[in-house]
């Protein structure tokens, strides 16, 4: 057995060791080649509490080997059957998630060490066949690869060696190991593939394991390219994720998965992806709800955000910092700006019109009288202004009853209109436009007051969760 460790030169490596043949072979090889590659070696052992005394004996074997060879060992113990019941998960899932947390902790304690697992070529082939049999897409048949997430990097130094090569290495070096008897039970699907399917396939097609792993490597290269293209269609900001219009379904599907995972959702289905793809061809404003999320068809793409209850809070217009759902509203005094007549992105309003008004989100019956005297329902007004549907229930308004005086970041009403300033002009209120996708939304209210009146600026900063 020969491992290519050149990619890990001068690295800190924490070997995940269960006491089984494969992991003990990996630990032995890393130990004997650490000097050659400048590797700082340690180990981690996770005792899952599922096999009673045998499980404890396996951990003791690892502990004894590490102690005899001067290897720092991080040990963790947990009854994963109880943990699974508490978390409402399968024992396998609970054990896997707990084990990953142990790896992350050991890696951190070891100064950011890479965590090496003992997966080999046969494991890789089994994984590909298992996922293929379950109807997985391309990403599921990429096999077992090095991964990095949340600061934890997992490496697989034995992925290019076969089980037979590992067996021979163990025999040649008289490496102690313990057999996990559950690995021999064909009650488990993966074990059945290992014990029955792989041997039959090798008899039918010599070298099948190696060929499957080559296929997985090519699939991983294709998946990397397609995923890179898909990332170009995803934008993040303002509490939502936008998937830009894309007619190429393989690209769109991957973009949609990126968007869904951004909300920590895992249980998406092919039907969810198909519904999101179809939403692109519907009218703006159409929605699709799934997994606690809502997708909105908007100009240029599909926006996804969390389902949140509409904010019912009603706040009085006053100085200070106020919280309105996902929006923090700060009203503060400042000097009146010199560029009063600036148009476009900067809007001004008469704060006298806002006296006694309320800050809230939109509600049924809201209307606004536009500058020029044209009355519109707030919904129609927001449509005219092309405010994204996914933002309409989030943007604050300043209103007197159902009469909307200001739509923050969008426009002012005729009632709040301010004439050209003069010495006796009342104070003004400045707002910025609809928030950008990649920056906080800042709205400024900037008054020019009559003589002897206080000057102030109101700044409204919108931060979406």
Q: What single string gives the DSSP state of each residue in 313-346? A: --EES-SEEEEETTEEEEEE--PPPS-TT--TT-
- The tokens for 166 are 């590992």
127 vs 449 pLDDT, higher one: 127
Q: What pLDDT, on the 0 to 100 scale, is given for residue 233? A: 96
> How far apart are the C-alpha atoms of 111 and 28, rounded to whole Å?
22
Q: What pLDDT, on the 0 to 100 scale, is given for residue 345? A: 52
Residue 451: pLDDT band with limits 50, 70, 90: very low
Distances (CA, A) of 156 to 3, 112, 146, 148, 161: 10, 17, 6, 12, 11
Mean pLDDT of the chain: 84
Q: What pLDDT, on the 0 to 100 scale, is given for residue 462? A: 46
DSSP string, 50-76: SSHHHHHHHHHHHHHHHHHTT-EEEEE
Stretch 42-53: mean pLDDT: 88
pLDDT in tens, 163-215: 999 999 999 999 999 886 666 666 667 888 988 999 999 999 999 999 999 99
Q: What pLDDT, on the 0 to 100 scale, is given for residue 287? A: 92
Q: What pLDDT, on the 0 to 100 scale, is given for residue 445? A: 46
Treating both helix axes as pointing N-terminal to C-terminal, what angle do 21-37 and 52-68 enclose, rounded to 10 degrees?
20
- The tokens for 371 are 């500058």
- The tokens for 339 are 């560029």
Stretch 110-130: mean pLDDT: 94
Residue 337: pLDDT band with limits 50, 70, 90: low
> How far apart are the C-alpha atoms of 7 and 372, rounded to whole Å?
69
At 368, is the secondary structure helix, strand, or coil?
A: strand
**Residue 117: strand pairing partners:** none
Residue 21: pLDDT band with limits 50, 70, 90: very high
Q: What pLDDT, on the 0 to 100 scale, is given for residue 12? A: 95
At 462, is the secondary structure helix, strand, or coil?
A: strand
pLDDT greater than 50 at residue 457: no
pLDDT greater than 60 at residue 254: yes
Question: Which of 325, 257, 248 is CA-nearest to residue 293?
Answer: 257
pLDDT greater than 80 at residue 454: no
What is 6-226's CATH number, 3.40.50.150, 3.20.80.10, 1.20.1250.20, 3.40.50.620?
3.40.50.620
> How far apart are the C-alpha atoms of 318 and 409, rounded to whole Å?
18
Q: What pLDDT, on the 0 to 100 scale, is given for residue 355? A: 84
pLDDT greater than 80 at residue 417: no
Q: What pLDDT, on the 0 to 100 scale, is given for residue 391? A: 83
Please say whether the beta carbons of 385 and 412 come within 8 A.
no
pLDDT greater than 70 at residue 97: yes
Q: What pLDDT, on the 0 to 100 scale, is given for residue 387? A: 83
332 vs 69 pLDDT, higher one: 69
Q: What pLDDT, on the 0 to 100 scale, is given for residue 182? A: 65
At 25, is the secondary structure helix, strand, or coil?
A: helix
Residue 221: pLDDT band with limits 50, 70, 90: very high
Domain boundaries, the chain: 6-226, 232-306, 315-462
Q: What pLDDT, on the 0 to 100 scale, is given for residue 438? A: 47
Contacts of 291 (CB under 8 A, 6+ apart): 260, 263, 265, 267, 268, 272
Q: What pLDDT, on the 0 to 100 scale, is given for residue 242? A: 94
Q: What pLDDT, on the 0 to 100 scale, is given for residue 183? A: 65
Q: What pLDDT, on the 0 to 100 scale, is given for residue 293? A: 93
- The tokens for 291 are 């997994």
Question: Which of 428, 431, 402 is CA-nearest to residue 417?
Answer: 428
Q: In what order do the strands lie in the sheet with 301-306?
A: 234-237, 240-244, 301-306, 293-298, 287-290
pLDDT in tens, 259-306: 999 998 888 999 999 999 999 999 988 999 999 999 999 889 999 988
> How far apart are the C-alpha atoms of 432 and 449, rounded to whole Å?
20
Q: What pLDDT, on the 0 to 100 scale, is given for residue 243? A: 96
Q: What pLDDT, on the 0 to 100 scale, is given for residue 440? A: 46
Please say whether the beta carbons of 162 and 125 come within 8 A.
no
CATH class of 232-306: alpha beta
- The tokens for 56 are 């404890």
DSSP 194: I
pLDDT greater than 60 at residue 342: no
Distances (CA, A) of 13 to 39, 160, 161: 7, 18, 19
pLDDT greater than 50 at residue 155: yes
> How far apart are the C-alpha atoms of 118 and 154, rounded to whole Å?
11
Please say whether the beta carbons of 49 and 78 come within 8 A.
yes
> How far apart are the C-alpha atoms of 121 and 198, rounded to whole Å?
12
Contacts of 427 (CB under 8 A, 6+ apart): 336, 350, 351, 352, 447, 448, 449, 453, 455, 456
> How far apart are the C-alpha atoms of 112 and 98, rounded to whole Å?
19
The sign of the torsion formed by the CA atoms of 294, 295, 297, 300 equals positive
DSSP string, 219-267: HHHHHHHHHHHHHTTEEEETTEEEEE----HHHHHHHHHHHHHTTT---
Q: What b/e readout covers 327-364, taking b as 16+ CB neighbours within 10 angstroms?
A: bebebeeeebbeebeeeeebbbbbbebbeebbbbbbee
Report the 10 Å Cβ neighbour count for 15: 29
């Amino acid at each position: 057995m020969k491992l290519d460790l050149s990619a890990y030169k001068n690295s800190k490596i924490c070997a995940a060791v269960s006491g089984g043949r494969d992991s003990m072979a990996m630990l032995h090889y890393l130990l004997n080649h650490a000097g050659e590659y400048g590797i700082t070696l340690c180990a981690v052992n996770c005792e899952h509490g599922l096999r009673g005394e045998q499980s404890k004996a396996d951990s003791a074997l690892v502990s004894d080997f590490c102690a005899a060879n001067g290897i720092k060992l991080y040990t963790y113990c947990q009854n994963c059957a109880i943990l699974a019941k508490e978390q409402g998960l399968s024992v396998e899932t609970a054990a896997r998630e707990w084990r990953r947390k142990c790896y992350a902790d050991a890696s951190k304690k070891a100064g950011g060490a890479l965590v090496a697992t003992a997966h080999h070529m046969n494991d890789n082939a089994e994984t590909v066949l298992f996922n293929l049999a379950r109807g997985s897409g391309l990403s599921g048949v990429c096999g077992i690869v090095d991964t990095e997430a949340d600061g934890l990097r997992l490496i697989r130094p034995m992925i290019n060696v076969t089980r037979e090569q590992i067996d021979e290495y163990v025999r040649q070096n008289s490496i102690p190991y313990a057999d996990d008897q559950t690995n021999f039970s064909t009650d488990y699907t993966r074990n059945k593939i290992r014990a029955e399917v792989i041997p039959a396939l090798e008899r039918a097609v010599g070298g099948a394991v190696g060929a499957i792993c080559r296929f997985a490597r090519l699939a991983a290269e294709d998946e990397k390219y397609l995923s890179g293209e898909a990332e170009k269609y995803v934008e993040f900001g303002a509490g939502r994720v936008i998937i830009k219009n894309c007619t190429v379904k393989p690209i769109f599907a991957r973009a949609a998965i990126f968007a869904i995972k951004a909300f920590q959702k895992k249980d998406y289905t092919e039907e969810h992806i198909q519904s999101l793809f179809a939403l692109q061809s519907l009218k703006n404003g159409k929605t699709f709800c799934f997994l606690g999320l809502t997708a909105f068809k908007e100009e240029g793409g599909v926006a996804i955000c969390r389902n949140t209850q509409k904010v019912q809070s009603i706040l009085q217009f006053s100085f200070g910092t106020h919280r309105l759902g996902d929006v923090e509203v700060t009203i503060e005094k400042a000097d009146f700006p010199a560029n009063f007549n600036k148009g476009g992105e900067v809007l001004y309003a008469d704060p006298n019109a806002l006296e006694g008004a309320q800050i809230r989100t939109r509600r049924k019956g809201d209307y606004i009288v536009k500058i020029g005297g044209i009355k519109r329902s707030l919904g129609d007004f927001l449509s005219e202004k092309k405010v994204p549907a996914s933002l309409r229930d989030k943007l604050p308004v300043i209103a007197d009853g159902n009469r909307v005086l200001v739509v923050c970041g969008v426009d002012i009403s005729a009632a709040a209109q301010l004439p050209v300033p003069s010495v006796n002009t009342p104070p003004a209120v400045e707002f910025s436009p609809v928030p950008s996708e990649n920056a906080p939304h800042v709205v400024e209210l900037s008054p020019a007051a009559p003589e002897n009146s206080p000057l102030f600026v109101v700044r409204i900063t919108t931060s979406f969760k």
